Amino acid sequence: MDSMRIRILRKAFSTIDKHNHGFLNKNQCICLFKELNKYRSLPKISREDFELIFSELDDSGDFKINVDEFTDLCNAIALKFQKEAAPSWFENYPYFYDSRPCKGLKAFVRSSTFGYIVAFILLLNLIAVIIETTLDIQNNSAQTFWQAVEFFFGWLYVLEMALKIFSYGFDSYWLEGQNRFDFVITLIIVIGETTTFFFPQVPLLSNGEWIRYLLIARMLRLIRLLMHIKQYRAFVATFLTLIPSLMPYLGIIFCVQCIYCSLGVQLFGGIVNMGNSKLDTTDLSDNDYLLFNFNDYPNGMVTLFNLLVMGNWQVWMQSYKDLTGTSWTLAYFVSFYLITVLLLLNLVVAFVLEAFFAEMELEKDDEPQEVRVTLEGKNRRRHVGIKSRSRTVDILLHHMLSAELSQTQSSKECSD
């Protein structure tokens, strides 16, 4: 694999170096990075990381990338650059911040024991949310007590947030996506609960719907419990990574649904109505599926979405066959099932599963090494995490460059 990768990268180098200078300058490399960003299968390279990757490739420091340095391209674009956090504001007061009690508090917050305590509080909060939700459904007056309990939990999370900011500094705290999520959710919940607690007579706040919105926000907080599960972390990471790559597939499914919805409205629009005596003999009436119809475009899209994700699509197919009295109705539903479910949706599922298992393998790898990089001419420092994703990038880049180079070679042969 390494020899093949080097051979392909050397061909790519010679393709870019049209004038045979034997090196690539910064502008050529930046143009290359911009072109690589057009491929969804490769990691996205931000513009601010262009110079950092160029600096990583430039081992000799002469601002020129020779062919040997260029062969390290896969590892370079697999690096993850993170801004080094600025010193904490509390470090301006070293007498207080470096005192023995503060050092002990910071060590406790950074320890795993503190994480276990927070997880235990989250479990208690889960029980409280379940009880409060049950009482809300039953319109039980005891819900007021559990609202006060939730108010107490909210301020516990504020205390946790304050301790982390004190121990790590706000910049380091804000670098973690989970901390940003906790920060926003905690502020929203605490502001809402505090306002409701002290001003319960305000018409807007006394509305039952407002309480339900708070319950939904509290449930979002419990997502933190799932982040302790490695498989769930891998699932979330896979989902977020695949959103840009899945858009073409999801867009095709949406377009197919729009086409079939337009056909469905024209073919079956209006036949599902209370005046149709045939409805009582169909499975639509027996299974309370009357709301899923093609009487208008929105209902048609909802009906097709149910056909896409539910397994009992044959209920709609047989019912509409009975309502229309023609077997051609079967062609509509069978063709939709073949195109969307068996072909497009299975393609998306296979794509997601492959990425999920790849992410699980990466989760098992060792922690990334950290290398400190300093850019010349700029007083800016960053940490670089060298991740094992370079192996995946090697494979993807190999397939991509092989196709591109084969196409280029074919074009040259045709021109000759």
pLDDT at residue 184 is higher than 70: yes
* 195 and 162 in a common domain: yes
* 122 and 186 in a common domain: yes
**pLDDT of amino acid 369:** 44
Query: Residue with structure tokens 């993807």?
Result: 396
pLDDT, greater one: 296 or 247: 296
As to burial, measured by CB atoms within 10 angstroms (0-12 exposed, 13-18 middle, 19+ buried), residue 170 is: middle
Q: Is the pTM of this model over 0.75?
A: no
Give domain status of residue 240, yes or no. Answer: no
Residue 293 main-chain phi, psi, to 5 deg: -145, 180
pLDDT at residue 415 is higher than 80: no
What is the rounded CA–CA span in Å between residue 305 and residue 260?
A: 11
pLDDT at residue 297 is higher than 80: yes
Give domain status of residue 239, yes or no. Answer: no
| pLDDT one-digit tens code per residue, 123-168 | 888 888 788 778 877 777 777 787 778 778 888 888 999 999 888 8
Per-residue confidence at 211, pLDDT binned at 50, 70, 90? low
* 26 and 139 in a common domain: no
* 399 and 359 in a common domain: no
pLDDT at residue 413 is higher than 60: no
* 223 and 96 in a common domain: yes
Per-residue confidence at 256, pLDDT binned at 50, 70, 90? very high
Give domain status of residue 405, yes or no. Answer: yes
Question: Which DSSP symbol is given to 368?
Answer: P
* 259 and 213 in a common domain: no
Give domain status of residue 373, yes or no. Answer: no
* 135 and 258 in a common domain: no
As to burial, measured by CB atoms within 10 angstroms (0-12 exposed, 13-18 middle, 19+ buried), residue 73 is: buried
**pLDDT of amino acid 254:** 92
Query: Structural domain of residue 22, as residue ranges?
Result: 2-79+389-415
* 292 and 322 in a common domain: yes
CATH number (domain holding residue 31):
1.10.238.10
pLDDT at residue 367 is higher than 50: no
**pLDDT of amino acid 372:** 43
* 96 and 75 in a common domain: no
* 223 and 114 in a common domain: yes
* 352 and 280 in a common domain: yes
Give domain status of residue 87, yes or no. Answer: no
What is the rounded CA–CA span in Å between residue 201 and residue 157?
A: 26
**pLDDT of amino acid 214:** 65
pLDDT at residue 49 is higher than 70: yes
Give domain status of residue 234, yes or no. Answer: no
The amino acid present at 27, given as its one-letter code, is N
Residue 373 main-chain phi, psi, to 5 deg: -115, 135
Report for 179-188, 221-230, 259-268: range of highest mean pLDDT: 259-268
Domain count for the chain: 3
Side-chain-facing half-sphere of 247: CA atoms under 13 Å: 7
Structure tokens at 11: 């061909």
Can you spell out the DSSP letters for 248-297? Answer: HHHHHHHHHHHHHHHHHHHHHTT-SSTT-GGGGGSHHHHTT-TTS-SSSH
* 7 and 68 in a common domain: yes
